[in-house]
Structure 1
Amino acid sequence: MTTPAHVAIIMDGNGRWAKARGLPRVAGHRAGVEALRQTVRAAGEMGINWLTVYAFSSENWSRPKSEVSDLMGLLKLFIRRDLAELHRNGVRVRVIGERENLAPDIRALLEEAEDLTRSNRSLNLVIAFNYGSRDEIARAARNMAMAVKSGQIDADSITAESFAGFLDTAGIPDPDLIIRTSGELRLSNFLLWQAAYAELVFLPCYWPDFGRADLAEALRSFASRERRFGGVIASDIAL
């Protein structure tokens, strides 16, 4: 079975999972952290080289302050409790998203996770935090324009490949497979540039219920597809 090198996941449905059980939303987020923990382990065991997770979008700041505070607390807990294990298991952590306006303690934690694990090679865990794809593309365009203005690059030499080098994901391969839980059928401003040729799998389960079997199901779906990247395959040409 063909295993995708890079899997990205939109971890959706924590709040609805909690509501269905008569629990506060924070209980859903706590359960979601455990699902993330198990998924990171499963991804490494299944031979996935890159795993990107949509942890906190730039639009999530509009949620109630109490929920945002709970989410920040869970982020801190995840890094403080799990970073040592991730490092021990050879996981390299990389964070994408806007950092300039983050609280100093949050920004320091993210940088600590990256710095500690920088030399690891078993699994690359990319955390999309304070991330929005349109914002990422706008920042990349602004930085590229500044590079042209300063003479670092020539406008006539701009290509899709050179533009990708200004994105948060520079140096990260595009995702082969994007999974979204909760039954929603959209990307929600996640990796819009990078998802150009990704295979998409939408699962009905809420994120806290996502487990190894669900990941395996998504991988089987991926393996059953023919990826054409805008071209045709030999059998089509023969027809």
Structure 2
Amino acid sequence: TGISQSRISHWLLQQGSDLSEQKKRAFYRWYQLEKTNPGATLSMRPAPIPIEEPEWRQTPPPVTATSGTFRLRRGSRFTWRKECLAVMESYFNENQYPDEAKREEIANACNAVIQKPGKKLSDLERVTSLKVYNWFANRRKEIKRRANIEAAILESHGIDVQSPGGHSNSDDVDGNDYSEQDDSTSHSDHQDPISLAVEMAAVNHTILALARQGANEIKTEALDDD
């Protein structure tokens, strides 16, 4: 970066007390990455958030006897159709926390738009209130995740923002009552690459600003000597 360690230390002593814990951790991660691989953080940019149709694993049906042997269907996946997603988004915009009766209504509405004349929907194709529950829960989590990313970006530019709404117990899928869960929502011990990229970009922005400030001070001192 072209900045001496003493200058960074001096700046942190003056400004460090005003930094949030998140920014302090970001500086420490930046230091570790630059120490092991100088310049590695300069190429880090927040990756675009892919928008994909969510998929949930279908709970395997009970074991059935066939010709004296037991077979268990595995690997069946339920995929939301575009027609259903349009219906779900419409209901979601009206109420993000539908009760059981409303979830049944949403499921029936989805089945109505995908039902073909003279053809019965299979158990895998049919939308149930349970699938609706999982979709709404994961949709709320996705909104909160995006809000956290946006808040981190704003904070990196010195804009104070309030953290997104607190955690709601209704967003947790109770394993005793709801067996279908989205594998992609399982919590990981590793930091989200998007969040890490946002943090590193913010630290690089601060370091570069400090470098420009130091260069201006050197020029000012040279003019004073003349």
Under a length normalisation based on structure 2, what TM-score does the superposition of the two structures give?
0.23
Which one has the bigger helix percentage? 2
Which one has the bigger strand percentage? 1
